[in-house]
Chains A and B, each alone.
Chain A
Amino acid sequence: MNWDLIWSSFGPLITGAVTGTIPLTLASFAFGLVLALLVALLRLNPNVVLSGIGRFYVSVIRGTPLLVQLFVIFYGLPSIGVKLDPWPSAIIAFSLNVGGYAAEIIRAAILSVPKGQWEAGHTIGMSRPQTLLRIILPQAARVSVPPLSNTFISLVKDTSLASLILVTELFRNAQQIAAFSQEFMALYLQAALVYWVICLVLSTAQSAVERRLDRYVAH
């Protein structure tokens, strides 16, 4: 075991997390959430065509592997003339994926808010969009934090797939150091450790957000 090399490898791994994994996760989750809200609203639309579009989208995203989606965008699109760099490809693929999964969470959360809340919004004169934004979504947010945190934590780990389309992130750095040093066991365990630490921090953050959103609920 080359302990010096192993110890000094944490530097590139953490750099990969800070400049690759974390920004990729944050950007994809942000875009994905916006997309998810739009898809959820499509799904909830009484118009069958619109809700059908939403349903179709969710079905395709959930019914196909993330790796395949990533490859279609990065390796597939160039053959129809759309060439994207690794980073945009990864962000698009992960955002679309989060959009599909989180849409169902947001839809269920919106449906969990009692109908009387819509009516109370209407009776004080609010339009549907206004009621959705100011009355329904803040309540839906509380319900959706635990499942969305799951999606978020899955996403952190899923971004390791971006190494396969040449995005420089945590896992790709681990692979490269492992290949050249032959310390496979050590490097991959180190990568696992860094992912785990990131997820531990996120779980703590999740608890804090849940406590904050729970302040208006009887305990």
Chain B
Amino acid sequence: MSPTDTPEPRVAPVLEARNLAKAFGSNKVLRDIDIDIRRGQVVALIGPSGSGKTTVLRSLNGLEIPDGGTVTFGRGDASGELAIDFGAKVGKKEVAALRDRSAMVFQHYNLFPHMTVLKNIIEGPVQVQKRPKAEAIAEAERLLERVGLADKRDAYPFELSGGQQQRVGIVRALALKPQLLLFDEPTSALDPELVGDVLGVIKELAEEGWTMVIVTHELAFAQHVADEVIFMDDGVVVERGPAAEVLRAPRQERTKLFVKRLQHDL
């Protein structure tokens, strides 16, 4: 399937967000945001800072509670549908259910500094998901091996470079076996020479078929990895479409300007 094809109707979206709205005081950071994400799809959210892209991402994980709109995971899946209406009262249970579906990789890694790498990774599976510890450890070791950090199992986060910390951050998210991986500018805090390692891991995950939403400034990477690019500005989606189209031949004036400013990147 080429990225320009419309999704086959029988491939239900993993996630449907409709009319997400959020204001901080009088500052409307999100206005009527709609997003669909299909299984295995990689969506890149781009836009100038303050455009609301991070707020969208955080809303999907319940770290930010929108003032209005809906988020539906697994629509039509009898056993697994989760529909949340932010217009109604959203309780702890709904937020917990929402967080259960996705996992976030943070710009500043946010590893737990008082735990070793291994403990960082198994904390969620063992303490929250109540999986057997031995199984969680085996899984963590397998994932660490994959990102080339098997030997850092017992290190503390401060002993790792930024790139290594971020790869642990990714493994911590993967260990939760979420339906959706969320990346909030995963390489923005890294030294340039460490960016490649982290992007390499994300690219591999995309090839493996993980469903991901990535907020990023790395346009070249977005074009390379993302199926769809969504350009946001001032709390609205200005333009969306296949990565190559939005980044190489944007239709909207605002997208053109933004892409041109970051063009050296492409």
Q: How large is the interface on A (under 10, 10 to 19, 20 to 34, 35 or more residues)?
A: 20 to 34
* A215 to chain B: closest residue by CB: B156
- Is there a chain B Cβ closer than 8 Å to A125's Cβ? yes
Least Cβ–Cβ distance between B71 and chain A, in angstroms: 16
Interface string of A113-140 (1 = CB under 8 A from B): 0101101101111110010001100110
Please tell me if the beta carbons of A122 and B156 are within 8 angstroms of each other in the complex: no
Complex CA gap A138/B128 in Å reads 18
A125, B173: Cα distance in complex, Å: 11
B142-163 with Cβ < 8 A to chain A: 156-159
B256 at interface by CB-CB < 8 Å = no
Interface check B113, CB cutoff 8 A: yes
Residue B167 lies at the interface, judged by CB distance under 8 Å to chain A:
no
CB pair B63–A119 under 8 Å, yes or no, is yes
Q: Is there an interface contact between B99 and A216, defined as CB atoms closer than 8 Å?
A: no
Q: Does B62 count as interface, using CB distance less than 8 angstroms?
A: yes
Which one of B11-19, B102-110, B195-203, B212-220 is at the A interface? B102-110
Closest Cβ–Cβ distance, residue B50 to chain A (whole Å): 19
Taking a contact as CB atoms under 8 Å apart, the answer to whether B128 and A125 are in contact is yes
Query: Could you tell me if A126 and B127 are in contact, using CB atoms closer than 8 angstroms?
Result: yes
Shortest Cβ distance from A47 into chain B, in angstroms? 16
- Contact present for B156 and A127 (CB under 8 Å): no
Question: Interface code B101-133, partner A: CB below 8 Å = 1, 0 otherwise?
Answer: 001101010111111000000011001110000
Q: Mask for A72-113, Cβ within 8 A of B = 1, else 0?
A: 000000000000000000000000000000000000000000
In the complex, which residues of chain B have a beta carbon less than 8 angstroms from the beta carbon of A1? none
Which of chain A's residues have a CB closer than 8 A to the CB of B128?
124-126, 130
Residue count of chain B within 8 Å CB distance of chain A: 29
Contact assessment for A119 and B176 in the assembled complex, using a CB-CB cutoff below 8 Å: no
Are B158 and A218 closer than 8 Å at their CB atoms? yes
Cβ B61 vs Cβ A116 within 8 A: no
Question: How does the 8 Å CB contact mask read for A13-55 relative to B, with 1 for contact and 0 for none?
Answer: 0000000000000000000000000000000000000000000
Are the CB atoms of B63 and A122 closer together than 8 Å?
yes
- Determine the chain A residues whose CB is within 8 A of the CB of B176 once the complex forms: 124-125
Q: Is B172 an interface residue (CB 8 A)?
A: yes
- Please give the distance in Å from B111's CB to the nearest CB on chain A: 7
Q: For B172, list chain A residues within 8 Å (CB).
A: 124
Say whether B34 faces chain A, with CB atoms less than 8 Å apart.
Answer: no
A217 at the interface (CB under 8 A from B): yes
Task: Bits for B48-71, please: 1 = Cβ < 8 Å to A, else 0.
Answer: 000000000000011100000000
A124 near B124: Cβ-Cβ < 8 Å = yes
B110 with A138: CB separation less than 8 A: no
B89 at the interface (CB under 8 A from A): no
B92 contacts A by Cβ under 8 Å = yes
Asked whether B23 is an interface residue with its Cβ less than 8 Å from the other chain, the reply is: no
A130 CA to B115 CA, complexed, in Å: 15
Looking at the complex, which one of B104, B129, B158 makes contact with A216 (CB distance below 8 Å)?
B158
Q: How far is the CA of A218 from the CA of B161 in the complex (A)?
A: 12
Min Cβ gap A214→B in Å is 11
- How far does the alpha carbon of A119 sit from the alpha carbon of B106 in the complex, in Å? 9
A139-B124 CB under 8 A given contacts A116-B108, A122-B62, A127-B96:
no
Against B, the Cβ 8 Å flags (1 = close, 0 = not) of A132-156 are 0011001100100000000000000
Which of B103, B108, B114, B158 makes the CB contact (< 8 A) with A123?
Answer: B103
- Please pick, from A125, A135, A138, A215, the residue contacting B99 in the complex, using a CB distance under 8 A: A125
11 residue pairs A–B, Cβ–Cβ below 8 Å: A122-B99, A123-B106, A124-B103, A124-B123, A126-B124, A126-B128, A135-B112, A139-B114, A216-B157, A216-B158, A217-B158
Q: A117-B110, A123-B173, A125-B128 are in contact. List 19 more A-B contacts (CB 8 A).
A: A119-B63, A119-B110, A120-B112, A122-B61, A122-B63, A122-B99, A123-B103, A123-B104, A124-B128, A125-B96, A125-B176, A126-B124, A130-B128, A135-B112, A139-B114, A142-B114, A215-B156, A216-B156, A218-B158
Q: Which residues from chain B sit less than 8 Å from chain A, CB to CB?
A: 61-63, 92, 96, 99-100, 103-104, 106, 108, 110-115, 123-124, 127-129, 156-159, 172-173, 176
3 smallest CB-CB distances across A and B, nearest first, come from: A124-B124, A125-B128, A120-B110
